[in-house]
Amino acid sequence: MPESTCAAPLPIRPAPPSGPLEQGREFAWTQADFARVQALIRQRAGISLHDGKHAMVYSRLSRRLRDTGHRSFHDYLAWLQTHDGPEWQEFVNALTTNLTAFFREQHHFGILAAHLRAKSAAASAPAPHWRLWCSAASTGEEPYSIAMTVLETLGAHAAFTLVASDIDSRVLAMAAQGVYRLDGLKGLGAERLQRFFLRGKGGNAGMVRVKPELRQHIDFISVNLIHDDWPFPEPFDMVFCRNVMIYFDAPTQQRVLARIHRVLKPGGLLFVGHAENFSESRTLFALRGKTVYERR
């Protein structure tokens, strides 16, 4: 009889990876964790995170897990909810977006200058003291652009106060310092650089700092737009709230707009971002230009 044959034994394959390394991740990350983050950041900052933000949230909050010594998002978020301390600010800082630049959305600054000239010409002596608010100051490029525009329009002795606020304490501290890389300011032009900035020397070569005469007009403070405790005893002539509302859902937008209406003088201007439209708030604001509204 012929010798019997049999198939060679199949190689033993290792079990597929499981747990946090299954997707090449350092920490366990589930849909429940993401939903919990969504709820917490909406509660604290009014930010609506859509489902496409999984990777961003994981990446940014992973740093918080490392710094606090937690091994899972479940444990970190549970700990966060039972502690009312500074980590909440770090949590908010990690999830806020700070895209900014000097004179971003250039047309707004032309409208700002024209409004200042027109109102100043119509005002009786003495010249008015202007009050402006930049509600998303980020690292400072926007409020400094506003302040430069005011000084260029009304002169070195212009009477104005600019409140620059943000919910992110980290970027607000950077804004208050007013220090920037010189190669990031090339679009400003030589005249503005000379008038408003000091160049670093030696170990600070390649850096610039805003001059005191520009910085002195700006008060940097922390303000959470969804909280109804804004520290403004006097109304503003103009409010810049640009590219902020896109992170809020519709009801939150309406509440924030109503609060802005309360702190803005009648006839005052509200500047918003290029992707923001508040035509549904006609009882509060009238459109007066490209993404510029007048307070009714």
- The residues assigned a catalytic role are 60, 166
**Across the chain, how many H-helices and E-strands are there?**
10, 10
Q: What share of the chain is helix, strand, coil (3-state, %, to 5)?
A: 45, 20, 35
C-alpha span between 3 and 78 (Å, rounded): 66
- What does each C-alpha distance from 79 to 39, 88, 96 come to in angstroms? 15, 11, 21
Question: For 280-288, which contacts have Cβ atoms below 8 Å and span 24 or more sequence positions?
Answer: 280/254, 281/254, 281/257, 284/257, 284/258, 285/257, 285/261
16 preceded by a cis bond (ω within 30 of 0): no
3-state secondary structure of 240: strand
Task: Tell me which residue has tokens 């899972």.
Answer: 72
**β-bridge pairing 130-134 and 285-289:** unpaired
Two tokens, residue 236: 């503003």
